[in-house]
Amino acid sequence: MSQTVTDLEVHDIRFPTSEQLDGSDAMNPDPDYSAAYVVLRTGHAGSGAEGHGFCFTIGRGNEVMAAAIEALRPYVVGRPAPRTAADLGELYRELTHDSQLRWLGPEKGVMHMAVGAVVNAAWDLAAAGAGKPVWQFLAGMTPEELVSLVDFRYLSDALTPEDALAILRAAEPGRAERTELLLAQGYPAYTTSPGWLGYEDDKLVRLSKEAVADGFGQIKLKVGADLGDDVRRMSLAREAVGPDIRIAVDANQRWDVADAVEWMNALAPFDPHWIEEPTSPDDVLGHAAVRAGQPVKVATGEHVANRVVFKQLLQAGAVDFVQIDAARVAGVNENLAILLLAAKYGVPVCPHAGGVGLCELVQHLSMFDYVAVSGTWEDRVIEYVDHLHEHFATPTVIENGRYMAPLAPGFSARMLPESMAEHRYPEGPVWQARRTTEENAR
């Protein structure tokens, strides 16, 4: 019997992470990691099924994201609860193609991220209903079902449905074997925890060594504020981890093209694995120029607005690594398009994660990619940041530098009710206490 979506709840949840300078980088000095959080319900609270999703923000403006999710209520409440690929494709297309809401993007920024939150909540609902984690729910679909999830509009000069079908069919025979390998070994991770820009040198060195001891083969440093500082920090990190550990660097969009070229030529002697977000995420041609102008590989994607920009990054040969984000584009469906584009162009996908809940979500997409799309984890790593996992019911499990495959049904990103209550903005006790402290300090 078909269930109906009876409610869409929106919650403004914020963590005061700026107090510790966790997450500080050249463009984001004081983020308060936040989630505009959505719960879809079937039946009454406590009795029916639930689907959870969210947009990730870094504080101010989280209420604007919440308003955007709220604007999607009429498209979701009252419809049959999505269960199949056909249902999930239809919901995604309806939300992205509403002509009036589309004007607010199109397919970018606040409104698009809100669609992503709702689409991901629908995937949580559907996968949980099927009793499977999202990666396995996806990997259990036929190539034809998977292709039906994708919106090929604006992609056909780079990827057709036939191309997608061929990629997915080629990966079909090895699905079972790779699923077993994944369950046994987990998926490779790297860690950004040592390298936040606000950390002192000795903390950077200590955390870099700890990361290697914990089994990570790759770490990442934030760069881009001051070249002298970056040369010193990169040199310290390289000394700390030795020549065999990969060190990626991340400029968080700080530079123009010429700055990026100059800076990376200066850092190149320390063998950086990639330079991430050297410039504007909208600048396809700029990324291509950065890639051509210096020897370090180029990565980007966490702020790339949609599949059309990813398509061009690949067409222009502008990136060596595609960094999908689970909550920036329109959810699982659009990320599937991006995984297929990357597979078509033979470019490895190394997801962005961190923030709050992004690791929990995006692991499913890389694992699905391994099992059913690219069929490989070579040159691929999922970012890992060790913040805020304790707020989730089924947090990521990292063992020896690898993400262990989640086994719980759904999308692994259901926040604990007590964490939500504590961090509700502006009325939750964490924020009330902070206001009291600030008032007393005046």
The residues binding a copy of itself (CB under 8 A) are 27-32, 57-61, 63-65, 67-68, 71, 98-113, 153-157, 253, 256-258, 279-286, 289, 303, 305-306, 308-309, 311-312, 315-316
Closer residue to a copy of itself, CB minimum distance, 27 or 397 = 27
C-alpha–C-alpha distance, residues 344 and 168, integer Å: 11
Instruction: Give the nearest distance from C-beta 46 to a copy of itself in angstroms.
Output: 30
- Of 273, 344, 352, 364, which is the active-site residue? 352
Instruction: Give the nearest distance from C-beta 110 to a copy of itself in angstroms.
Output: 4
C-alpha–C-alpha distance, residues 172 and 439, integer Å: 61
Tokens of 146: 């998977």
Judge contact between 152 and 160, C-beta under 8 A. Answer: yes
Instruction: Give the nearest distance from C-beta 108 to a copy of itself in angstroms.
Output: 5
Closer residue to a copy of itself, CB minimum distance, 211 or 322 = 322
Any catalytic annotation for residue 364?
no
- DSSP track, 18-86: GGTTTT--SS-SS---EEEEEEEEESSTTTS-EEEEEEEE-STTHHHHHHHHHTTHHHHTTSBPP-SHH
Which residues of 59-113 form beta strands (DSSP E)?
none
Judge contact between 144 and 161, C-beta under 8 A. Answer: no
Query: Among 42, 35, 39, which Cα is nearest to 58's?
Result: 35
* CA atoms within 13 A of residue 50's CA, in its CB half-sphere: 15
Tokens 């990691």 belong to: 33
SS (H, E, C) 352-413: CCCCCCHHHHHHHHHHHHHHHHCCCCCCCCEEECCCCHHHECCCCCEECCEECCCCCCECCC
C-alpha–C-alpha distance, residues 442 and 432, integer Å: 16
Tokens of 255: 């530079």
Instruction: Give the nearest distance from C-beta 75 to a copy of itself in angstroms.
Output: 10
Any catalytic annotation for residue 222?
yes
Instruction: Give the nearest distance from C-beta 168 to a copy of itself in angstroms.
Output: 21
Closer residue to a copy of itself, CB minimum distance, 278 or 375 = 278
Instruction: Give the nearest distance from C-beta 99 to a copy of itself in angstroms.
Output: 5
C-alpha–C-alpha distance, residues 39 and 52, integer Å: 5
- Of 222, 273, 311, 344, which is the active-site residue? 222
Residues annotated as catalytic are 222, 352
